[in-house]
Structure 1
């Protein structure tokens, strides 16, 4: 078995365009990119796709979080670009996504 090929999907992806701004709206977070694109991400989608070890099993990348267990009216307390240039979201339930 070629281990490198088997785990190729576990690598990080290259940065194509840096984040330049974040705006939290009632139902989504708008992310602004250096190439002037704007991407809307609904709160539930962002929470469901949190890659932290509490939400995703780090060995297999299997999702541990069940989105049905998250409040439907979930809102971020804060969304920002962190010191590494990544989107960071602090949720009302105390969870942090990055």
Structure 2
């Protein structure tokens, strides 16, 4: 069977997660906090994967992301944009 959705085939991993997040939000319809509910589901899966595959230092890596988001949200945003749009010219993350 041929897949005609070439745009999704060419999406990078973060773009695919963004697309899936949008599907989860849509799944919740008009529910209160549907964006938070969808994000919570993704976070649960991500934390399970960190714990399962991240070895004994998995918590430290999660904490590094949380500290970065809390203490330097602009840098966090630049990292996300770099990964979301890798072909676009980016200014330095640092």
TM-score, scaled to structure 2: 0.25
Greater Rg over alpha carbons, structure: 2
TM-score, scaled to structure 1: 0.25
Higher helix fraction (1 or 2)? 2
